[in-house]
Amino acid sequence: MVRKILQNQLYVGDVINFRTYSKSYKLKDRLANSPENWEIHRDVHEAIISREDWENVQKTFGDTKYRKPKYVEKNMFSGFLKCSDCGANLNYKYTHDNPDNHYFSCRNKRANNGLCSQTHHIRVDAITEIVTRELSNMVRFASAFEDEFVKIVVDEQYKQIQLLQKKNKDALQTAVARNNEVDILYEKLYEDSICQG
């Protein structure tokens, strides 16, 4: 508690906004915002202690604050892995104490927002091993049965094209139906305004 008081920037006359944020206006929980997202306004009110004294006290703490690395390498599996329960993306993480421990975990569980109740994480080396094994099997199959492999790939591409066309067609039908509804609403509004006028 004493450390928290000594590190409080309000005592030098500064005001700090956006220390916390909410994921949605519907949620009451406030989450801690990272320091780079804070907005600091200097010398807004009368200082209790001088800035020079405050900065000297901060130097006594040393470099104990957590600092984000300037560059974090993005993993090749990022964006492809989903939580099996809530469907959220799995976030790439690694521990600072053990940099070799790279893993993916559910962002909703880590945020503790109630959207995911299970702890999901998987190590990168386990994913790499599974994917490497599957690719090896696929290459062996493609080498042994080249014609069948080409047919499977072409069929899969055709299925994807068909799905995309169906999705686009459904979206077009929805847009046309909405356009017709709007036209009818305009006609009714026009008739109402004529009748009232």
Q: Please report which confidence band the pLDDT of residue 48 belongs to, taking 50, 70 and 90 as the band edges.
A: confident
Confidence check: pLDDT of 107 > 60: yes
- Looking at the DSSP assignment, which residues form a beta bridge with residue 82? 89
**Model confidence pLDDT, tens digit, residues 151-190:** 888 888 888 899 999 999 999 999 999 999 999 998 888 8
Query: Is residue 195 over pLDDT 90?
Result: no
pLDDT at 73: 61
What is the biggest distance separating any 2 CA atoms in the chain, rounded to whole angstroms?
A: 81
Quote the CA–CA distance of 83 and 111 in Å, as a whole number. Answer: 14
pLDDT for the residue 68 = 47
pLDDT bin (cut points 50, 70, 90) of residue 66 is very low
Q: Which long-range contacts (CB under 8 A, 24 or more apart) does 29-33 make?
A: 29/113, 31/111
* % of the chain surpassing 90 pLDDT: 17
Is there a contact between 83 and 115 (Cβ–Cβ < 8 Å)? no
Query: Per-domain residue ranges for the chain?
Result: 2-60, 70-144, 147-196
Q: How many CA atoms lie within 13 A of 135 on its CB side?
A: 6
Distance (Å, whole) CA 27 – CA 15: 25
User: Residue 110: what pLDDT?
Assistant: 67
Q: What pLDDT shows up at residue 130?
A: 92
| pLDDT mean over 66-88 | 70
